[in-house]
Structure 1
């Protein structure tokens, strides 16, 4: 394990803990696990991830996305950061504002930039954009869920 690997591990754990700070313990565990899983997808060598996931599943993903404008790695960027954006917005009431949107977007860019510290991975502007778009889509979905919950509570109270 190189110094860069240790630094990435410390950064990933630190970000995961920052995201989970102040949330319910069960949600905090989900946030930490999700953030570490996304970090693993971004920082581990692609060949290792393909081996762990299984090449038959990788080929299946490519066949599922054949008729879409994006390849599986691009969809994974979108969905992973949408999931993180959704979780952060729902779990952390203190960042349900413009700072929360900025936080999710910053994590998307920072995650991609930190790939400079990994062997065999290169940051791409397109991937950073997909991370940000995915994160913002997750925030939007979470915001809509919060609005629907507020509407339902008001309707039940009336």
Structure 2
């Protein structure tokens, strides 16, 4: 009689183990599906980031007075940066000392004539814009939903205006 009692209980245990394995497989596949869906949506939203960038805010920096290392002279100018979001303006306001340092270091490496030429070709504007966008990088975050339903927004400096520019050599 003990053999007959063990047989039904062993078959019940087999069915329970099969059911548990099936449920574990279903849970694992659901987790993997959610992960795959989330990564696909992130890649899709990165690909569909709006290429049309609109200027929303302006940020003005104090006057830069830079003394080049290559020769005795002085360069003065002011910068106005057009950004595409208020968050960028706030972030750059917090990072103004770092921005001033990076721009100063970049400009002081040139000679006065080189700086004048770079300014006239608007390469100075582009290089400052590039440096500002490197500072911003991916440091500004947007809250997104669990399944990645929100589009990612690219935060950046749209345009840099350099004005009140003067460069002179001193002897």
Q: TM-score, normalised by structure 1?
A: 0.29
Rg larger in structure: 2
TM-score by length of 2: 0.27
Between Structure 1 and Structure 2, which shows a larger proportion of helix residues? 1
Higher RCO (CA < 8 A, seq sep 6+):
2
Determine which structure has the larger strand proportion and give its number. 2
